[in-house]
Amino acid sequence: MSFSTLALVVLVGLLGPILALRASWNIPVVAGELLAGIVIGASGLRLVEASESTFSLLANIGFGLTMFVVGSHVPVRDAQVRAAVGRGAVGAIVVGLLSGVLGSALATVFGIGHGALYGVLIASSSAALVLPIIDSLHLTGRSVLRLIAQVAIADIACIVALPLAIDPAHAGQAALGTLGIALASGVLYVLLRALNRHRTLLRVGARSEQRRFALELRVSLLLLFSLAAISQLTHVSIMVAGFALGLVVGAIGEPRRLARQLFGITEGFFSPLFFVWLGASVNLRGLGAHPWMVALGLCLGVAAILAHLAARATGLPWLLTVVSAAQLGVPIAAATLGIRSGLLAPGEDAAILLGALITVVTTSVAAGIYTRRSRPDSKVSFT
């Protein structure tokens, strides 16, 4: 990856904040960054190659940092958040059950024996998309907290379930990887909590600030990359590693100095690069050679929205149920795994990505409408 390519990626990534500048439009920053990636990537001008190793590595770092920041912003010590987990789990289960039915129906209609895969795709939610959208639009309140819980639970569950649905040979390895990250995060929480009680973290932080060592950021990156290494070895999404570490830091109490440092490197470079890379990874050209797959993609997108509307039964507002349907990471992983293993029908990978893009568009629209209509129903915030 050359510096000219890197400059291009940073340049087109500015489309995100440019579109979000007009407050009345309520366009999430990530929507513009994804659009920019689609334009210069596999579906558009092909100016960048998303599979290039350096580009992919930087994007994965951005993914991990984005989810780290998102996880650290979730106020896990707040009683309202803990109360939201129950309803969020119920919502994810309800959506999952309906998704299984719709996935089987689509597999039967199109004559493709991928009912389990379609069910996972329909049920999935992208925390990497939804949570930054919530942050950028400054959405707050109990309903939003329930949305966060549902999206996080659904995302992690679908990431774990995807190998079982599309590649059963690696399902056990992925489950062990997720368990390993959970255990490592638990040990890390206990250790940091003990250091925090003895004010060791406070003393080290003060010394670091005095000597300009940036130890908080260095240690955080070390822990993130270590958990990401476990994810990589066990074929688990880096999202799990970043989000788990963010939750640990949020539970202990994120130092303001670390928050500023993370904001700078994440929002200034790595996060925009990740979303541009994500858009560039989407290849819709395959739909031209297989028109029937266009119908499958449309059905997958519509089915995902319909399935997530079922979360209304848990008290989630209609517009937020549509927001919860946003998906991209799981469909891209499914398309990638399917292509590598040769398990997908011709054009099916493009259909899966088309369905995901439909949910991204509807999520952006629904989030903007909700922002204009809503009034904060509490003082709870995660920004």
Q: Is 39 inside any structural domain?
A: no
Sign of CA dihedral 295, 338, 333, 241: positive
Inform me whether the pLDDT recorded for 108 exceeds 90: yes
Q: Is 57 inside any structural domain?
A: yes
What is the CATH classification number for the domain harbouring 105? 1.20.1530.20
Average of pLDDT values for 324-348? 78
Task: Read off the pLDDT of residues 49-81 as tens digits, 9 standing for 90 and up.
Answer: 988 999 999 998 998 898 788 778 766 666 666
> In the chain, pLDDT over 70 holds for what percent of residues?
91
Helices (H) and strands (E) in the chain — how many of each?
19, 0
15 pLDDT band (50/70/90 cuts)?
very high
Cβ atoms within 10 Å, residue 3: 7
Q: Taking a C-beta distance cutoff of 8 angstroms, is the pair 70, 309 a contact?
A: no
Residue carrying structure tokens 């469909």:
331
pLDDT for the residue numbered 78: 65
pLDDT for the residue numbered 113: 82
CA-closest candidate to residue 161, choices 150, 151, 149, 170: 170
pLDDT for the residue numbered 380: 42
Q: Is 188 inside any structural domain?
A: yes
Average of pLDDT values for 221-233? 90
Q: Is 381 inside any structural domain?
A: no
State the Cα–Cα distance between residues 281 and 267, nearest whole angstrom: 20
Alpha helices in 167-237 (DSSP H): 171-197, 200-211, 215-233
**Torsion angle (degrees, nearest 10) of CA 262, 82, 163, 228:** 30
Inform me whether the pLDDT recorded for 2 exceeds 50: yes
Domain count, the chain: 1
Cβ atoms within 10 Å, residue 280: 30
pLDDT for the residue numbered 295: 93
- For residue 210, CA distances in Å to 199, 207, 257 come to 17, 5, 12
23 pLDDT band (50/70/90 cuts)?
low
Q: Is 4 inside any structural domain?
A: no
Inform me whether the pLDDT recorded for 379 exceeds 50: no
Average of pLDDT values for 363-377? 78
Range(s) of the domain holding residue 154: 50-273+285-373
Least confident of 110-114, 139-143, 310-314: 139-143
Inform me whether the pLDDT recorded for 378 exceeds 50: no
Inform me whether the pLDDT recorded for 117 exceeds 80: yes
Cβ atoms within 10 Å, residue 56: 15
Residue 125 phi, psi dihedral angles, 5° rounding: -130, 145
Q: Is 62 inside any structural domain?
A: yes
Instruction: Name the 3-class secondary structure at 234.
Output: coil
Residues 6+ apart with CB under 8 A from 79: none
- For residue 282, CA distances in Å to 56, 104, 115, 116, 262 come to 14, 25, 22, 22, 28
pLDDT for the residue numbered 241: 86
Q: Is 232 inside any structural domain?
A: yes
pLDDT for the residue numbered 383: 40
Q: Taking a C-beta distance cutoff of 8 angstroms, is the pair 158, 123 a contact?
A: yes
What is the residue-averaged pLDDT of the chain?
84
Report which of residues 73 and 378 the model is more confident about: 73
Q: Is 20 inside any structural domain?
A: no
